[in-house]
Amino acid sequence: MLRTLCIGVAALLAGCASPPPMPPVASVDLDRFMGDWYVIAHIPSWPERNAYDAVESYRLLPDGRVQTDFRYRDGSFDAPVDTMHPVATVRPGTGNAVWGMQFIWPIKAEYVIAYLDAGYQTTIIGRSKRDYVWIMARVPCLDDAVYADLLRRVTALGYTESPRKVPQRCGR
């Protein structure tokens, strides 16, 4: 009986263990990373759960922080544009790949650049909690094979939920 109880408690505690830290890319050239990134798919935060035409824009500030402008339409292509304007602080010693994204003071959410192709055309932003993820690209729509590869990468990062594909207007 005691052995069964101990095994049960051990299994329960193992289920409560935190996932391993999100592995960042080795380094990010911030100047190359700046600009517009279309959100291709995501496991979204509450405000962006029904996003259409989602675009994240980054601009390096003189103090080294990153001004972020996130714009999207809520629920349809015809909805008005909503925006958020968080500011990110690049964490020292991370090769510019781990940011603290601040939507409200004093809370900084972890943002980890977990994948970035060599041409700075596609990226995956994740979190160690595996609660949110963003697949982004410099263009609003991707080739099916490229998209499938990015989804495989998200799974390899330890996500068990499938990202939601964000409706984008591909003809622009």
Tell me the average pLDDT across 89-117.
Answer: 90
Query: Taking 80 as the threshold, does the pLDDT of residue 29 lie above it?
Result: yes
Phi, psi for residue 46 in degrees, rounded to 5: -55, -50
Name the strand (E) or helix (H) holding 32: helix 30-33
This prediction's pTM: 0.87
Q: How far is CA 45 from CA 33, 52, 159, 164, in A?
A: 22, 14, 15, 11
pLDDT recorded at residue 172: 54
Q: Which residue did the predictor score with more confidence, 160 or 100?
A: 160
Query: Taking 70 as the threshold, does the pLDDT of residue 2 lie above it?
Result: no
Contact 57, 69 (CB under 8 A): yes
Phi, psi for residue 77 in degrees, rounded to 5: -65, -20
Q: What is the mean pLDDT of the chain?
A: 90
Cβ neighbours for 65, distance < 8 A, ≥ 6 positions apart: 87, 88, 89, 90
- What amino acid is encoded at 68 in this protein? T
Contact 64, 137 (CB under 8 A): no
pLDDT recorded at residue 5: 37
Q: How far is residue 89's CA from residue 129's CA, in Å, rounded to a whole number?
A: 19
Tell me the average pLDDT across 133-141.
Answer: 98
* 138-171 tens-digit pLDDT: 999 999 999 999 999 999 999 999 999 999 998 6
Tally of residues, the chain: 172
Percent of all residues in the chain with a pLDDT value above 90, rounded to a whole number? 78
Of 1-5, 13-17, 18-22, 165-169, highest mean pLDDT: 165-169
Q: How far is CA 91 from CA 27, 37, 97, 155, 158, in A?
A: 12, 21, 8, 25, 23
Q: How far is residue 115's CA from residue 26's CA, in Å, rounded to a whole number?
A: 9
Residue 4: pLDDT band with limits 50, 70, 90: very low
Q: How far is residue 4's CA from residue 152's CA, in Å, rounded to a whole number?
A: 38
Query: Taking 80 as the threshold, does the pLDDT of residue 7 lie above it?
Result: no
